[in-house]
């Protein structure tokens, strides 16, 4: 049985909080700031299935907080920052995978033909490199790392 | 000088004044832009938000509001927060792959630096083996 006090939403909107108030489960009276910030940023309410309303309310609180902290960019600032991080990590991963491939190919390559049997102790440090660095098309790329521009 | 109403005033069915705060960012040739923003935020909230900002930042703010509104319309449950979760997962996955690859490089480099066969030791080892063999023969 729900408490008799109005939920945070009805308290702010100054209306009677009905038994089946749609906001009451997600905006309890003990946390008035939560609804206040959502109401400040979001105007309209969307119809959603009951089992998704909790997540929707939480994501709206998150977005509203982000918008209050950064009135110009809101969540888009965070998205831009994260996209940059993904790009940087992808570049680092590409470099590392290229290096690993180079080392593997170096280890798999056969012994140089000019090694004389009597001089095997002298050629350890002078082995030539038969390797060519692989082109960018051969580098392994994870398709799940690709992201679209934030403005599309 | 344009006498037409901006998309916002056209949508709200009101007169568009000379100093309409929304008209620079919601031109009449893109009615869907304001419709999306209004549906999620409401005209009053958008107006208040833009009024609080200096003029040179309002265009960026309007663009970001439009982007977030579009995300929310496409995903009514998570909005652009869903995109943030996805990017965080991608970062975590990329970091794991990077650490794994760097560890593999470290292992392979150490194997290259310290190979198993050592020519000096092989010869001296074979000498020892010969000596060891002769001792065993003596003990039989």
> Could you tell me what percent of chain A has a pLDDT over 70?
66
Which of A42, A69, A96 finishes a domain? A69
| Residue A40, pLDDT score | 82
| Residue A53, pLDDT score | 86
The reply to whether A146 falls in a domain is: no
Phi then psi dihedrals of residue B41, to 5 deg: -105, -30
State the Cα–Cα distance between residues B28 and B11, nearest whole angstrom: 10
State the Cα–Cα distance between residues A122 and A118, nearest whole angstrom: 9
**Looking at this predicted complex, what is its ipTM?**
0.73
Query: Residue A119 pLDDT more than 90?
Result: no
Each domain of chain B, given as residue ranges in start order, spans 1-74, 78-111
State the Cα–Cα distance between residues B80 and B73, nearest whole angstrom: 10
Token pair in block for residue A63: 């977005």
> pLDDT digit of tens for each residue in chain B (140 aa)?
445 899 999 999 999 999 999 999 999 999 999 999 999 999 999 999 999 999 999 999 999 999 999 999 899 899 999 999 999 999 999 999 999 999 999 999 888 776 665 555 444 444 444 434 444 444 43
Provide the residue count of chain B.
140
Of A41, A55, A83, the CB nearest to B78: A55
Helices of type H across B75-118? 81-113
Q: Do residue A52 and residue A80 come from a single domain?
A: no
Q: What is the 3-state secondary structure (H, E, C) of chain A?
A: CCCCCCCHHHHHHCCCCCCCCCCCCCCCCCCHHHHHHHHHHCCCCCCCCHHHHHHHHHHHHHHHHHHHHCCCCCHHHHHHHHHHHHHHHHHHHHHHHHHHHHHHHHHHCCCCCCCCHHHHHHCHHHCCCCCCCCCHHHCCCCHHHCCCCCCC
Of B52, B102, B105, the CB nearest to A71: B52
| Residue B8, pLDDT score | 95
The reply to whether A64 falls in a domain is: yes
Which of A49, A69, A89 finishes a domain? A69
| Residue B75, pLDDT score | 92
Cβ–Cβ of A79/B80 closer than 8 Å? yes
| Residue A138, pLDDT score | 35
Classify residue A27 by its DSSP letter.
S
Position with higher pLDDT, A1 vs A42? A42
Q: Are A9 and A39 in contact (CB under 8 A)?
A: yes
State the Cα–Cα distance between residues B40 and A98, nearest whole angstrom: 46
Query: Residue A28 pLDDT more than 60?
Result: yes
Q: Do residue A3 and residue A59 come from a single domain?
A: yes
- Which residue in A42, A48, A45, A35 sits closest to A9, CA to CA? A35
Q: Which of A96-105, A143-152, B108-117 has the highest mean pLDDT?
A: A96-105
Q: Do residue A65 and residue A19 come from a single domain?
A: yes
Q: Do residue A1 and residue A65 come from a single domain?
A: yes
Burial of B122 per CB tally in 10 Å (0-12, 13-18, 19+): exposed
Q: Which positions in chain A touch B90 (Cβ < 8 Å)? A: 86, 144-145, 147
Position with higher pLDDT, B50 vs A141? B50
Token pair in block for residue A86: 């993904």
> Other CB atoms closer than 10 Å to residue B68's CB: what's the count?
27
State the Cα–Cα distance between residues B28 and B120, nearest whole angstrom: 85
| Residue B112, pLDDT score | 73
What's the whole-number mean pLDDT along residues A97-116?
Answer: 76
Q: Which domain holds residue A82?
A: 75-107
Average confidence score pLDDT of chain A: 74
Cβ–Cβ of B94/A72 closer than 8 Å? no
Helix axes A32-41, A50-69, angle to 10 degrees: 80
Total number of domains in chain A: 2
Phi then psi dihedrals of residue A40, to 5 deg: -65, -35
Compute, in degrees rounded to 10, the torsion defined by CA atoms B78, B83, B89, B92.
-130
Q: Which positions in chain A touch B105 (Cβ < 8 Å)? A: 96, 99-100, 103
């Amino acid at each position: 049985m729900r408490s008799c006090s109005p939920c945070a939403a009805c308290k702010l909107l100054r209306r009677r909080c009905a038994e089946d108030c749609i906001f009451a489960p997600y905006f309890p009276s003990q946390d008035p700031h939560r609804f206040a910030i959502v109401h400040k940023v979001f105007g309209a309410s969307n119809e959603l299935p009951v089992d998704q309303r909790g997540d929707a309310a939480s994501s709206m609180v998150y977005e509203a907080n982000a918008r209050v902290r950064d009135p110009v960019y809101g969540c888009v600032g965070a998205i831009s920052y994260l996209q940059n991080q993904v790009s940087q990590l992808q570049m680092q991963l590409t470099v590392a995978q290229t290096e690993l491939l180079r080392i593997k190919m170096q280890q798999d390559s056969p012994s140089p033909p000019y090694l004389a049997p009597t001089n095997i102790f002298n050629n350890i440090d002078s082995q030539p490199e038969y390797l060519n660095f692989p082109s960018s098309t051969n580098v392994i790329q994870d398709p799940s790392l690709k992201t679209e521009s934030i403005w599309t | 000088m344009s006498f037409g109403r901006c998309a916002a005033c056209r949508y709200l069915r009101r007169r568009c004044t000379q100093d309409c705060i929304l008209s620079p960012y919601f031109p009449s040739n893109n009615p869907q832009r304001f419709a999306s923003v209004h549906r999620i935020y409401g005209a009053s909230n958008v107006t208040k938000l833009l009024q609080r900002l200096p003029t040179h930042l309002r265009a960026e703010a309007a663009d970001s509001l439009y982007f977030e509104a579009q995300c929310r319309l496409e995903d009514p449950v998570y909005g652009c927060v869903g995109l943030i979760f996805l990017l965080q997962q991608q970062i975590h996955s990329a970091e794991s792959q990077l650490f794994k690859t760097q560890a593999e490089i470290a292992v392979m480099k150490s194997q290259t630096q310290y190979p198993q066969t050592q020519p000096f030791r092989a010869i001296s080892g074979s000498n020892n083996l010969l000596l060891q063999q002769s001792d065993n023969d003596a003990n039989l």
